[in-house]
Amino acid sequence: MNRFPAYIALENRPVLIIGGGPSALAKARLMTAAQASLTVIAEKIDSETRAALAGVARLIERAPVVGDIEASVLVFIADGRDSQIERWVEIAQMAGALVNVVDRPEFCDFITPSIIDRGQVTVAITTNGAAPVLGRKVRADIEALLPQNVGSLAEFADRYRDAVKAKFSEHDRRLFWEHFFDGPVAAQVLAGDEVRAHEAMVALINRPREKEKTGVVHIVGAGPGDPDLLTVKALRLLQHADVILYDRLVSDEILSLARRDAERFYVGKAKANHAVPQDEIEARLVAFARDGKMVVRLKGGDPFIFGRGGEELETVRAAGISVFTTPGITAAAGCAASANMALTHRGYSQAVTFVTGHAKDEGEPDLDWAALATLKSTLVVYMGVSKASSIANRLIGHGRARSTPVAVIEKGTCPDQKIIKGSLDELGQLIEAGSVDGPALLVIGEVAALADGETLLSIAQQERLVA
């Protein structure tokens, strides 16, 4: 580190910018955001700079004089010939000002970083001029990790600083705040619900000490498989969780994004093989939260689509524990995108229906076949692979055309995804020919004709080529 990062209070303090073009305007925008008392001087100030700074900066159209430069805390030089620049830098430095010359690091006392400005929370990033584009990329990465309302959270905490100080010893105060920022009240503030957060905060500060430990449960969708399809919020929660209970369809790549020291528990269910029964999963969520933990219940796809997320939410809430839900990209949306097939498409389908092909005790799914068969739209069947032939027969039996296009998408969005397409009457064969045995969706309807994918013919041709 050859420059020390520090934040300078500039409110109402004199800052000078020499220059009247786009570089000067860029610096002026930073300085007005910092509420500096800004003067812009140049022999020519362009019309865009003039319009943008009208009313927020003093604009002087002439060459700067020694007195202008001497009076400033910071001086930016965004314009000028080399001989002038050297002179201005010398005058400013003699007067004790810090100088920045745009694109001339050799003259700079300070540089302006890439900034993330969320009110009370500001982050500054610099590569010391070595790679400004990299600096902007780092900023984008950090920006994505910071909750939109993180500045409000800092302000919220600031309002209670004195109250917490009065109530707790120094050691307990630190624990209180650590617990607070991962807890339900902070989650409420981040969700924009400050009214309820204030009530909860007062209760939190005043509650008896033995009840100190109450955690929070986040029910989080992990998306269909590709880690890049995780939401920004899901990623953030994973990086803060103390405990993660995850399902079978959550990949190792996604788990590897979690906080390194988080406790992880596999509670997945394969068909007819419930590793941990549902009520046991719910009991664990409650127990971990009662132990003061920030718990993430991580589920494939979206937690509220064939994910039993609703049941878990009800149980946790009934236990008096704060619970929040973060949606995920459901398999149908992820698979459709991977197959380049819109689920609704003008001229093909104006609606989409999601059903489950799973049935209790391995029986037949209890669906309204007559209604599904007459739909002139897209039908997506989750968990339908083992019942694919009988689903096709039922739909055909109730009047859906045998030639209706279908697509079977296995492990959609993952590197080993498979897409096989054909017609409804060959659905069983498609699954057999494609040896589909992983998680897969059946998409039935005209849009399936648009899917990128293999057909029975192309599979047979490949086999002949290989044989």
**CB-based contact 6:29 (threshold 8 Å):** no
Phi, psi angles (nearest 5°) of residue 174: -65, -45
Which range touches ligand SAM (CB under 6 A), out of 39-47, 176-184, 409-417, 446-454?
Answer: 409-417
Show the CA angle centred on residue 140, arms to residues 137 and 143, nearest 5°. Answer: 150
* Closer residue to ligand SAM (CB): 147 or 328: 328
Residue 46 designated active-site: no
Q: Edge to edge, what strands does the sheet with 216-221 contain?
A: 263-266, 243-246, 294-299, 216-221, 322-326
Q: Of 24, 69, 249, 406, which lies in the binding site for ligand SAM, with binding defined by CB under 6 A?
A: 249
If binding is defined by CB under 6 A, does position 447 make contact with ligand SAM? no
| One character per residue 376-395, x = contact with ligand SAM (rule: CB under 6 A) | ------xx------------
Q: Please, which of residues 268-307 interact with ligand SAM by CB under 6 A?
A: 299-302, 305-307
Q: Dump the DSSP string for 262-286.
A: -EEEE--EETTEESS-HHHHHHHHH
**CB-based contact 221:299 (threshold 8 Å):** yes
- Whole-number Å distance between alpha carbons of 8 and 224: 46
Say how many residues touch ligand SAM, by CB under 6 A.
23
If binding is defined by CB under 6 A, does position 327 make contact with ligand SAM? no
CB of 313 to ligand SAM, least distance (A): 14
Residue from 142, 118, 119, 138 nearest 128 by CA: 138
- Whole-number Å distance between alpha carbons of 33 and 48: 18
Which range touches ligand SAM (CB under 6 A), out of 2-10, 75-83, 398-406, 436-444?
Answer: 436-444
* Closer residue to ligand SAM (CB): 282 or 302: 302
Alpha helices, DSSP H, located in 146-276: 150-159, 161-167, 170-181, 184-190, 194-206, 232-240, 252-255
CB of 430 to ligand SAM, least distance (A): 14
CB of 366 to ligand SAM, least distance (A): 16
Q: Which of 109, 137, 182, 269 is catalytic?
A: 269
If binding is defined by CB under 6 A, does position 225 make contact with ligand SAM? yes
Q: Which of 247, 293, 299, 411 is catalytic?
A: 247
If binding is defined by CB under 6 A, does position 365 make contact with ligand SAM? no
Residue 269 designated active-site: yes
CB of 307 to ligand SAM, least distance (A): 3
Q: Of 150, 157, 189, 440, which lies in the binding site for ligand SAM, with binding defined by CB under 6 A?
A: 440
How far is C-alpha 369 from the geometric centre of its chain's CA atoms?
38
Unique residue bearing structure tokens 């700067």 = 64
Residues designated catalytic = 247, 269
Q: Which residues bind to ligand SAM, rule: CB under 6 A?
A: 224-225, 249, 299-302, 305-307, 330-331, 335, 382-383, 409, 411-414, 439-441
